[in-house]
Amino acid sequence: MKKIIILIALSWVFNACESSKFKEESNYSSSYSAEWPMATSYEIFVRSFADSNGDGIGDIKGMTEKLPYLQDLGIKGVWLMPIHPSPSYHKYDVMDYKGVHEDYGTLEDFKKFVQRAHEHDIKVVIDFVINHTARDHPWFQESMKGPDNPYRDYYVWAKKEDIEDDINKKETALDSDNIEQWHEAPDNEELYYGYFWGGMPDLNFDNPEVKREIFEAGKFWLEEVGVDGFRLDAARHIFPDERAADNHAFWVEFRNEMKRVNPEVYLVGEVWADMETVAPYLSGLPALFNFDMSYKIVEAVQRQSNEEIAEYHAKVMNYYQGINPNYIDATFITNHDQPRSMSQFDGDVNKGKLAASLLFTLPGAPYLYYGEEIGMLGPKPDPEIREPFLWKEGEKDVYRTSWIEAKNSNDDTVIPAKVQRDDKESLLNHYKRWVALRYKSEALSEGRIVAVATDNQQMAVWERVGKNERVLVIHNLSNSSQAVSEEVARKYDLGNRKIIWGNIKNNELGARESLVFLL
């Protein structure tokens, strides 16, 4: 009888405080204001984002003209995929470390973009791809001319028999586990090393001149152009895996060199590996992308199971912050190398909303991949996850790029940003509300995560505990309504707590809905 009375009481209290999430959020006030890099950032593939001149290719001027859109979304930083001259569409094979690809515009265009972005309170981070260059880079063209060329030692060359000897001995200093990573060059007896493929020869960072060139290029972008930092591509492959300590030391040296120009330089690294492999990079790279949490978010939505998200994230953060107390966890749902989340969710907008809710209630500095906020689709191969952004409907969309036929994200499958902006229940506005809430919540932006035990694996429950604010987060991961457990409701006295996200009726949280209580 006592249990029934408690449940009735809880149901009445929850009913009494039921309200629209829009009303609750507008009533939430805080003196806190999240600052970048803990505020939300946005990854842009310039080629697909916004075309200013009608040539079908996204460009810097188009991106500049769309800064108000990013500001309205609440974005405080942009990460640009490579913008350097390159023979490929994706530009991860650089031909000039101090240039801008002519399809995108000029260096002056980019300087103006950086200036305008800063005027919109948006920081600019560029992809810096230094593990390798393009095969067409002038350095490599010189390097192929023979062992006596001064650029020969800018890359890694070896005789085939020596490579095979090293592989057999398993004692190589050249990362030769796979002979297929060694490539032939015209008129050369030696092979050159390219970890990713023959079109991307690896630079030789045992050569001090290579280091000097790369450090000089980094300082150029910070000092002459004014960017705020770099996303470091393939950061674990500067040296071979068996020389991991050299990798770690390199990034400490790189960071120190960049700080000579900008003491506040922001570096975020791509180290796609397990936690133990990632951790030593924290001494040089204060921010790293959390790929494991990306997978866990997607899996939680797909499996309707909490996947012990809170417990795992707490473990990761405790481990990393034990090495670097100022570590920044760069979180995301998917990026330019992964199938778009909405394709993994079969286009289900409610699943897309739940993934966003999970991302924004977890610790870290969240990144959005362009178009994620409007539900763009795209499976592998890579070009299909990098299709044109949809600004308006059909022929009205003068900024939409056309460099590739959009097989997945088009007017038949994705509602353009302009249309979603006017729909309060759209995915875009769902993202905007989360960005805004996180912006003014110290607990959601900077608080540590504390898992809250629950017997219902279709519910994910955790606390976020900041210095001056504490909240309780509850996610219903299932496709049906779920009751908030009596134990959780009593423990936190939820009937007397302010809801700052979501609503509840009769003690039940709707399918794939979320609640955030101010404690």
Domains and CATH numbers, the chain: 2-30+443-518 (2.60.40.1180), 41-128+214-440 (3.20.20.80), 138-193 (3.90.400.10)
In this structure, are residues 342 and 376 in contact, taking their beta carbons and an 8 Å threshold?
yes
125-135 b/e with 16+ CB inside 10 Å = b? bbbbbbbbbbb
Residue-level pLDDT at 171: 54
Question: Residue 276 to residues 91, 282, 284: CA-CA distances in angstroms?
Answer: 30, 11, 16
In this structure, are residues 379 and 385 in contact, taking their beta carbons and an 8 Å threshold?
yes
Among positive and negative, which fits the CA dihedral 442, 444, 449, 452?
positive
> pLDDT grade, residue 506 (50/70/90)?
confident
- CB within 8 A of 366, min separation 6: which ones? 40, 41, 331, 332, 359, 360, 438
In this structure, are residues 32 and 442 in contact, taking their beta carbons and an 8 Å threshold?
yes
Partners of 329 in the β-ladder: 288
CA angle 363–365–367, rounded 5-degree value = 120
Partners of 43 in the β-ladder: 79, 369
- CB within 8 A of 46, min separation 6: which ones? 58, 59, 60, 63, 80, 81, 83, 104
Active site annotation includes 108:
no
Active site annotation includes 270:
yes
Judging by beta carbons within 10 Å of its beta carbon (0-12, 13-18, 19+), is residue 367 exposed, middle or buried? buried
User: Does residue 362 come out as left (phi exceeding 0), alpha (psi in the -120 to 50 range) or beta?
Assistant: beta
State the average pLDDT for the chain. Answer: 92
Kind of pairing, strands 459-465 and 448-451? Answer: antiparallel
HEC sequence for 171-204: CCCCCCCCHHHEECCCCCCCEEECCCCCCCCEEC
Residue-level pLDDT at 176: 44
Which DSSP string do the residues of 245-268 spell out, in sequence order?
A: HHHHHHHHHHHHHHHTT-TT-EEE
In this structure, are residues 506 and 15 in contact, taking their beta carbons and an 8 Å threshold?
yes
> pLDDT grade, residue 22 (50/70/90)?
very low
How far apart are the two ends of the chain, measured CA to CA in Å? 29
pLDDT at 7 > cutoff 90: no
CA angle 387–405–94, rounded 5-degree value = 55
Question: Residue 331 to residues 359, 380, 419: CA-CA distances in angstroms?
Answer: 7, 21, 28
Across 11-20, 33-42, 246-255, 275-284, least confident range: 11-20
Q: What is the Cα–Cα distance from 46 to 63, expressed in whole angstroms?
A: 7
- CB within 8 A of 153, min separation 6: which ones? 204, 207, 209
pLDDT tens digit sequence for 334-387: 999 999 999 999 999 999 999 999 999 999 999 999 999 999 999 999 999 999
What is the residue type of 46?
V
Question: Residue 446 to residues 28, 50, 184, 329, 440: CA-CA distances in angstroms?
Answer: 18, 33, 50, 11, 11
Point out the catalytic residue in the list 43, 103, 127, 270. 270
| pTM for this model (two decimals) | 0.93
Q: What is the Cα–Cα distance from 44 to 373, expressed in whole angstroms?
A: 12
Point out the catalytic residue in the list 233, 372, 384, 513. 233
Give mean pLDDT, residues 478-507.
Answer: 92
pLDDT tens digit sequence for 461-472: 999 999 999 999
Q: How many alpha carbons lie under 13 Å from residue 100 in its C-beta half-sphere?
A: 21
pLDDT at 516 > cutoff 70: yes
Question: Residue 464 to residues 309, 310, 364, 441, 469: CA-CA distances in angstroms?
Answer: 13, 10, 11, 10, 8
Give mean pLDDT, residues 111-133.
Answer: 98
Q: What is the Cα–Cα distance from 144 to 148, expressed in whole angstroms?
A: 10
Residue-level pLDDT at 32: 93
Other CB atoms within 10 A of residue 147 CB:
11
Across 125-129, 157-161, 412-416, least confident range: 157-161
> pLDDT grade, residue 175 (50/70/90)?
very low
pLDDT at 18 > cutoff 70: no
Residue-level pLDDT at 17: 45
> pLDDT grade, residue 394 (50/70/90)?
confident
Q: What is the Cα–Cα distance from 136 to 203, expressed in whole angstroms?
A: 13
User: Does residue 412 come out as left (phi exceeding 0), alpha (psi in the -120 to 50 range) or beta?
Assistant: alpha
Q: What percent of the chain has pLDDT over 90?
A: 85
Partners of 516 in the β-ladder: 473, 501
> pLDDT grade, residue 395 (50/70/90)?
confident
